[in-house]
Structure 1
Amino acid sequence: MESWLKQYGASGLDDLELADFSNTGRGVRTLRRFEEGGKILTIPHGVLWTVKHAYADPVLGPALLSARPPLSVDDTLATYILFVRSRGSGYDGLGSHVAALPASYTSSIFFAEAELEICAGTSLYTTTKQLDRQIEADYKELVVRLFGRHQELFPCDKFTIEDYKWALCTVWSRAMDFKLGNGDSIRLLAPFADMLNHSPKVEQCHIYDVLSGNLSILAGKDYEPGDQVLINYGPVPNNRLLRLYGFVVPSNPNDSYDLVLATHPMAPFFEQKHKLWVSAGLDSTSTVSLTLTDPLPSSILRYLRIQRLNESDLAGMVSHKSDAAFEKVSDSNEVEVLRFLVESISSLLDGFKNQLEKLEDQLAEGFYTPEGNAWSAAHVSLGEQRVLRLTRKTAEDLLAAVETGSGNKRRLLSTPAQCAKCKKVSVHLMRCGRCNEVTYCGRACQVAHFKEHKAICRATAAKNGSKKD
């Protein structure tokens, strides 16, 4: 592969070599010293794998052009890779690059069911299940739109669904994405450069030159001869690393959980609330990323404040021409939002098959084979649970502050209690601010129960010496 790349003008290859490393597997080793920021490698545009190059192929291009609607970027690149592999190592030099690719991948779609079950409850688990179904549907459509119509180019035994999954993982794990000056983006695979492994400890150092179309790799740190050359894929959480690249980073500081907020169109006052969500930069279905550095983004509170608005709240906003910033609507709205959030996060955490403490003990005791699929799945579950627990703690702290400041003696109970109106049992109830005896799940139940509770409340308050009217 190196000699073929040199023919096309690749530079820097004499100072590098492919090598196997104990912690990352196959990678690139430097043969000389490099200072941070220095250019290590340049791959010319003529040998990059792009959609444009796929369409320019004299044999494959016409078949791709016949597909209607056109294939997606990933399907085009995956088909290109499989086509070159089916033609053998001599196909325009590209075959030597394909021959150097891994024979298999450790992305989550290749996990055995028992391995994936380790992280049941995580977003990765759900996404992987959905992805499996999507890949199967996409493959069947690809057969109808392209493979089946050009069987002489796409022999059945070399374009199976397993081949398709392998090619997709090649694209996901090795492609690089760049923004272009006109606002568009380009996805490409760069021979040899795609052998570079990831490390969060180096600066991002891969550059695409829009004018020349060449890809360059700079030194993300100082290197000595024999060091592995690394690049930084960016702040990627473990659930994404394992899904796309097939590895995880223990104690990944970029771990996250994507929280989906949704409201049914038949919910009361949906149209009014939808307008408010849009004006707040949201939608009726919004996905917000929870992270270790920002476990409770303000957009979540904005969404839920709007979702919990009642008729009088909405009327007040119209009469006062209030916007949708919603730093806070009212104490009652804030308490309802935060209680709902605490309960929802608790429910999500209860859905994890293996709880955080158990996984920590198992990993510390060497229960899982290091770097194995189950070990990686355990780290994904750990990361997502840590984020969710931090989110819940943040919501609980905000709730306590609102309850303390509201003067209504609202607080989380130490043991489960029953709402005096709807009979719901929970620890997330509020006590009556007058008598401090009965509990409610929210302001609506308290108001609805007031006529029944009024006489007893006043008597109890008087007995306890309350000064409230």
Structure 2
Amino acid sequence: MDSWLRESGALGLDSLELADFPDTGRGVKTTRSFKEGEKILTIPAKILWTVKHAYADPLLGPALKSAQPPLSVEDTLAIYLLFVKSRESGYEGQRSHVAALPTSYSSSILFEEDELEVAAGTSLYTITKQLEQSIEDDHRSLLVRLFIQYPDLFPLDKFGIDDYKWALCTVWSRAMDFVLPNGTPVRLLAPFADMLNHTSSVKQCHAYDPSTGNLSVLAGKDYQPGDQVFINYGPVSNSRLLRLYGFVIPGNPNDSYDLVLSTHPQAPFYEQKEKLWKMAGLDSTATIPLTLTDPLPKKVLRYLRIQRLDAQNLAVVARQGSDAAEEKVSDENEVEILRFLVESFEYLLSGFGTPLEKLEEQLEKGVYPAGSNAWAAAHVSIGEQKVLRLAKKRAEELLSLVESGSDGNAKDRCANCGKADAPLSLCGRCKSVAYCGRACQVAHYKGHKTKCQALAAKSG
């Protein structure tokens, strides 16, 4: 592949080489030092795998254009890879890249049933089950819409379901996504650059030049000769890492749980509530990530406050405009939604196949060999259970505040996060609420502003 890349105008290969590393496996090693921000590698536009290039191919392009409805970006790239892989001549350079790709992956869609069961109860488990069915449906559709129509281009023995899964895993784990200045998204695979492994310890360092179409990789930190060169995928949870990239990070600080909130269109006052959700920047079906740092986002409370509004409070909240339900509507409404959340989090936690403490014990005893699929699934489950436990604890704390007669604005607790075990400072204007720090004061001010001004005017 190196000779093809050099002939194609790739820059930086003289300072890089493929190598095997004990922690990450196959990766890229630098043979000289680099300073952070220095350009390491440039892959020219003409050899990138893109939808545009697939459609421009004289053999593949006409077939792709005939498919109705048009193929997705993901399917187009997957078929492009399989098409080149299946050719015996005419695509030597691209075939050398395909030959350098892994022959197998460890994405969750390829797990054995008992391996995936370790993650039972997680969003990974649910999404993987849905993906497995979706992939089978999509492959059947491709057979009818494309493969059977062009048997000479798509021999069925090389475009089977397992081949399709391999191609999808290649796209998921190796594609890079960018957005052009005009808002158009671009997804591409870059030969050699796709061998770079991920770490959150470097700055995001891959860039797409829309004027040339070239892909460049910059040093995300200082490197010395012999160091492995990394890129940063961004703040990604273990569930997403395992589903798309086939690995996890033990103790991942970016672990999260996607909480889905929805309301049936025939629910009471649905149309009025839908307008309120839109004013609040929400949809009637909202997916809100719960994280280790923010296990119970205000968007969750705001959605549920609107969902549980009765006829008496609807008109009052509607007059608040964009601030609708940003703070407590009433004690009754708040108690109702917080009790619902506590019960919901309890239910979700009960659905995990193995409780957190037992999983941690099993990992410590080596029940799941380090690096195995089951080991990775266990780490996903641990991360999501930790997030849900924090969310449940937060909901219980807020419920206790309301039931004890405090709505979270008492002077002995932070009005924004509810902390009572931290140094607090009163609002300098109204003196009616306290905060544990500047960040909480700023975050709370939009909803507190009207009340603050009224109290300040009254006391003034």
TM class, shorter-chain normalised? 0.7 to 0.9
2:5 corresponding residue in structure 1: 5
1:24 aligns with 2:31: no
Deviation string, structure 1 residues 343-394 (Cα, Å, up to 9, x no partner): 1011100100110000111111222110110000000000000111111111
CA distance in 1, matches of 2:27, 2:322: 57
1:85 corresponding residue in structure 2: 85
1:65 aligns with 2:65: yes
CA contact (8 A) 1:41 1:216 kept: yes
CA distance in 1, matches of 2:271, 2:16: 60
Aligned-residue identity in percent? 70
Offset of 1:89 from its aligned partner? 6.9
Point out the more displaced range, 227-236 or 272-281: 272-281
Taking a change above 3 Å as real, the CA distance of residues 10 and 336 of structure 1, as seen in their structure-2 partners, is same
Offset of 1:320 from its aligned partner? 8.0
CA distance in 2, matches of 1:135, 1:321: 43
CA distance in 2, matches of 1:242, 1:320: 43
2:95 corresponding residue in structure 1: 95
CA contact (8 A) 2:10 2:42 kept: yes
1:308 aligns with 2:316: no
Quick one: which amino acid aligns to residue 131 of structure 1? L
Deviation string, structure 1 residues 313-352 (Cα, Å, up to 9, x no partner): 1244457879524311011111111111111011100100
Quick one: which amino acid aligns to residue 124 of structure 1? L
Taking a change above 3 Å as real, the CA distance of residues 18 and 323 of structure 1, as seen in their structure-2 partners, is closer
1:74 corresponding residue in structure 2: 74
1:209 aligns with 2:214: no
1:461 corresponding residue in structure 2: none
CA contact (8 A) 2:317 2:329 kept: no
1:269 aligns with 2:269: yes
Taking a change above 3 Å as real, the CA distance of residues 92 and 365 of structure 1, as seen in their structure-2 partners, is same
1:108 corresponding residue in structure 2: 108
Quick one: which amino acid aligns to residue 10 of structure 2? A
Taking a change above 3 Å as real, the CA distance of residues 321 and 104 of structure 1, as seen in their structure-2 partners, is closer
Offset of 1:400 from its aligned partner? 1.2
1:283 aligns with 2:298: no
CA contact (8 A) 1:177 1:185 kept: yes
1:332 corresponding residue in structure 2: 332
- 1:204-283 to 2 correspondences below 5 Å: 204-283=204-283
Deviation string, structure 1 residues 277-302 (Cα, Å, up to 9, x no partner): 12211121111011111111111001
2:292 corresponding residue in structure 1: 292
CA distance in 1, matches of 2:352, 2:227: 40
- If you compute each CA radius of gyration, which structure gives the higher value, 1 or 2? 1
CA contact (8 A) 1:331 1:406 kept: no
CA contact (8 A) 1:173 1:244 kept: yes
1:423 corresponding residue in structure 2: none
Offset of 1:310 from its aligned partner? 1.2
1:14 corresponding residue in structure 2: 14
Deviation string, structure 1 residues 79-110 (Cα, Å, up to 9, x no partner): 00000000147514100000000000000000
CA distance in 1, matches of 2:274, 2:153: 50
CA distance in 2, matches of 1:260, 1:73: 26
Taking a change above 3 Å as real, the CA distance of residues 320 and 381 of structure 1, as seen in their structure-2 partners, is closer
Taking a change above 3 Å as real, the CA distance of residues 227 and 334 of structure 1, as seen in their structure-2 partners, is same
Taking a change above 3 Å as real, the CA distance of residues 369 and 321 of structure 1, as seen in their structure-2 partners, is closer
CA distance in 1, matches of 2:24, 2:173: 14
- 1:400-419 to 2 correspondences below 5 Å: 400-406=400-406
Q: List alignment gaps of at least 5 residues for structure 1.
A: 408-469
SS in 1 for 2:324: coil
SS in 2 for 1:405: coil
Taking a change above 3 Å as real, the CA distance of residues 68 and 319 of structure 1, as seen in their structure-2 partners, is closer
Quick one: which amino acid aligns to residue 85 of structure 2? R
Taking a change above 3 Å as real, the CA distance of residues 403 and 67 of structure 1, as seen in their structure-2 partners, is same
Taking a change above 3 Å as real, the CA distance of residues 12 and 406 of structure 1, as seen in their structure-2 partners, is closer
1:457 corresponding residue in structure 2: none
1:420 corresponding residue in structure 2: none
CA distance in 1, matches of 2:18, 2:318: 66
2:199 corresponding residue in structure 1: 199
Q: List alignment gaps of at least 5 residues for structure 2.
A: 408-460
CA distance in 2, matches of 1:363, 1:164: 33
Point out the more displaced range, 308-317 or 369-378: 308-317
CA distance in 2, matches of 1:107, 1:56: 30
Quick one: which amino acid aligns to residue 62 of structure 2? P
- 1:53-202 to 2 correspondences below 5 Å: 53-88=53-88, 91-202=91-202
Taking a change above 3 Å as real, the CA distance of residues 334 and 26 of structure 1, as seen in their structure-2 partners, is same
Point out the more displaced range, 243-252 or 265-274: 265-274
Taking a change above 3 Å as real, the CA distance of residues 167 and 321 of structure 1, as seen in their structure-2 partners, is closer
Q: Tell me how large the CA RMSD over aligned residues is.
A: 1.4
CA distance in 2, matches of 1:321, 1:91: 60
Quick one: which amino acid aligns to residue 252 of structure 1? N
CA distance in 2, matches of 1:321, 1:223: 52
Offset of 1:226 from its aligned partner? 1.2
Quick one: which amino acid aligns to residue 186 of structure 2? I
CA distance in 1, matches of 2:346, 2:108: 26
1:341 corresponding residue in structure 2: 341
1:454 corresponding residue in structure 2: none
CA distance in 1, matches of 2:372, 2:356: 19
CA contact (8 A) 2:279 2:322 kept: no
CA distance in 1, matches of 2:320, 2:224: 66
SS in 1 for 2:405: helix
Moved over 2 A (4+): 315-323
TM-score, normalised relative to structure 1: 0.85
Taking a change above 3 Å as real, the CA distance of residues 154 and 338 of structure 1, as seen in their structure-2 partners, is same
